[in-house]
Amino acid sequence: MDSPPSEGESSTSQGESSPSRTVSRSSMMESIRSYGLSRLAGIKIDTDELRRRLLMPQYLRLAMLDSITKKDTDGSDQHFPSSGSADVPCPESPMIVFINPRSGGRNGPVLKERLQKLISEEQVLDLEDVKPHEFVRYGLACIEKWANYGDFCAKEIRQNIRIVVAGGDGTVGWVLGCLGELNQNGREPVPPVAIIPLGTGNDLSRSFGWGGSYPFTWKSGIKRTLHRASVGPVSNLDSWHVVVQVPGGEVADPPHSLKAAEECSLDKTLEIEGDLPDKVNFYEGVFYNYFSIGMDAKVAYGFHHFRNEKPHLAQGPLANKIIYSGYSCSQGWFLTTCTSDPSLRGLKNILRMHVKKVNSTEWERIPVPKSVRAVVALNLHNYGSGRNPWGNLKPKYLEKRGFVEARSDDGLLEIFGLKEGWHASFVMTELISAKHITQAASIRMELRGGEWKEAFMQMDGEPWKQPICNDYSTFVEINRVPFQSVMVNGE
């Protein structure tokens, strides 16, 4: 709803300080509490014992790395002992770490060095040198090969291996997407993923108990992180497949998360009204946190272009947030220019939306509120660096609206709207709720230009400018991926 949650919609009233608001008041306490290290502060973690539990035998480490380098699972046979490996000790919780050295400002390379000393150089993979799909197709496949040949240690490692990703949400999503190949090819189990948060927003990290920032000043922090990653329970995470159908001649400028596709079909049970062009272009991708369209994506688009053009001015989370706030003020998000036609301010003028609700196979038309300038489909509880715009809604309100309690593995997206910058600001400070629109298991958005020549979209923080026209519609369809990702819970 659009008013303060005084009628019982939210479980936290205005007069109380919510946990997330209390945490945000102290950056030091956030580093301790949100990262979850306070529970382990009194626990001494022995370095040798930790390394014994994580370190893979040398012959398997070298074989795995050799297979990745040669891009050939048969190119590492020389590393296997001729006498077998029955007497080789197997680690209890073998671990592979992917690190994005560009994340975390100047601390990325320092963290990489610490990780390599604690585990091994072969088990800490620099994403500038080794891509996640190369690990899946060659490194992990090498271990699987020798497990199938009867190597006991390889079999145990393949069964128990865990992944740690040191980077931002985009890096985590990249790794999760590559691990999804294992489900598609029947190569279970899929290794669960833990996170070392090095990005700006880190909403995936927050959602699974790894906090919003990594405490680089804690010398023992990395040991505690690896310990939690090795023993933490696992939970599931939905992911969402996006198909964008663009009229021929209108080519999108897709981000890394959206790839051109030969052909992707939209759901035939929802008939397309009006004429279709002779040719269409398709793009597809996957998101884990959110998809949005409208003004928030336009602000993000401007920020990303500024950061790419002047990277020296955006060298850390604080600087990024200041620049982002500046773009919010300059893009008409707070004040619509006087020359702008009022009829062009809301998404209602260009957007028609259908959804499939919970336990339903029928498409239903959902009106877009007139005042809404950004529509967000949210999968996690965290959005925009730890905010919860959907809110913790009370059972009575859920029943009244036909909603269910939001979870990251419920097969549903929470769809809400933001009006203008002032409304978004109050929502992000949790003074009011977002404009609740609906919950959906599938979404189709149809955009027809009118006076608009382009729309701005983003997936998990990667924005793009999508050309639209008046003659033919652009379609965006979102459906849940059949297989869930597996996450290590750090709480």
pLDDT tens profile 210-242: 998 887 666 678 999 999 999 999 999 999 999
- Per residue in 173-212, pLDDT tens? 999 999 999 999 999 999 999 999 988 788 999 999 999 8
The CA-based angle 16-333-412, given to 5 degrees, is: 60
pLDDT in the model for residue 81: 65
- Residue 304, SS3? helix
Residue 219 pairs in a beta bridge with none
DSSP 8-state secondary structure symbol assigned to residue 414: E
Q: Which of 109-118, 124-133, 288-297 has the highest mean pLDDT?
A: 124-133
pLDDT in the model for residue 348: 83
- Asked if the model's pLDDT at residue 34 lies above 60, the reply is no
Report the relative pairing of strands 193-197 and 234-237 from DSSP bridges. Answer: unpaired
pLDDT in the model for residue 265: 83
pLDDT in the model for residue 388: 85
Write the CB contacts of 30 (distance below 8 Å, at least 6 apart in sequence).
23, 24, 211, 212, 213
Write the CB contacts of 140 (distance below 8 Å, at least 6 apart in sequence).
64, 158, 161, 182, 187
pLDDT in the model for residue 5: 40
Give CA separation, 124 vs 117, 165, 180, in Å: 10, 10, 21
pLDDT in the model for residue 300: 79
Pick the more confident residue, 333 or 219.
219
Percent of the chain, pLDDT > 70?
78
pLDDT in the model for residue 219: 64
- Asked if the model's pLDDT at residue 129 lies above 70, the reply is yes
What is d(CA 44, CA 265) in angstroms, rounded to the nearest whole number?
55
pLDDT in the model for residue 448: 86
- Asked if the model's pLDDT at residue 368 lies above 60, the reply is yes
Phi-psi region of 371 (alpha: psi -120 to 50; beta: other; left: phi over 0): alpha
Average pLDDT of span 382-391: 83
What is d(CA 285, CA 177) in angstroms, rounded to the nearest whole number?
9
Q: Which residues of 394-405 are buried (b: 16+ CB within 10 A; e: fewer)?
A: eeebeeeeebee
Report the relative pairing of strands 413-418 and 374-378 from DSSP bridges. Answer: antiparallel
- Identify residue 239 by its one-letter amino acid code: S
- Asked if the model's pLDDT at residue 314 lies above 80, the reply is no
- Per residue in 423-474, pLDDT tens? 777 777 777 778 899 999 999 999 987 677 888 899 988 889 888 888 889 9
The confidence band for 308, taking pLDDT boundaries of 50, 70 and 90, is low
Report the relative pairing of strands 280-287 and 258-261 from DSSP bridges. Answer: antiparallel
DSSP string, 307-347: HHH-GGG--SHHHHHHHHHHHHHHTTSSS--TTS-GGGSSG
**Positive or negative CA dihedral for 176, 181, 183, 184?**
positive
- Identify residue 372 by its one-letter amino acid code: V
A 10 A CB-CB count for 284 gives: 18
pLDDT in the model for residue 250: 67
**Positive or negative CA dihedral for 271, 277, 278, 280?**
negative
What is d(CA 438, CA 357) in angstroms, rounded to the nearest whole number?
8
Average pLDDT of span 136-147: 94
What is d(CA 435, CA 415) in angstroms, rounded to the nearest whole number?
9
- Asked if the model's pLDDT at residue 404 lies above 60, the reply is yes
The confidence band for 110, taking pLDDT boundaries of 50, 70 and 90, is confident
- Asked if the model's pLDDT at residue 317 lies above 70, the reply is no
- Asked if the model's pLDDT at residue 108 lies above 60, the reply is yes
pLDDT, mean over the chain = 81
Answer for the pair 151, 198: CB distance below 8 angstroms, yes or no. Answer: no
Pick the more confident residue, 9 or 352.
352
What is d(CA 350, CA 449) in angstroms, rounded to the nearest whole number?
6
pLDDT in the model for residue 136: 97
- Residue 286, SS3? strand
- Asked if the model's pLDDT at residue 365 lies above 90, the reply is yes
- Asked if the model's pLDDT at residue 254 lies above 90, the reply is no
Q: pTM for this structure? A: 0.81
Pick the more confident residue, 117 or 321.
117
DSSP string, 228-257: HHHH--EEEE--EEEEEEEETT------TT
- Asked if the model's pLDDT at residue 145 lies above 90, the reply is yes
Report the relative pairing of strands 364-366 and 485-488 from DSSP bridges. Answer: unpaired
pLDDT in the model for residue 315: 52
Answer for the pair 474, 466: CB distance below 8 angstroms, yes or no. Answer: yes
Average pLDDT of span 329-338: 47
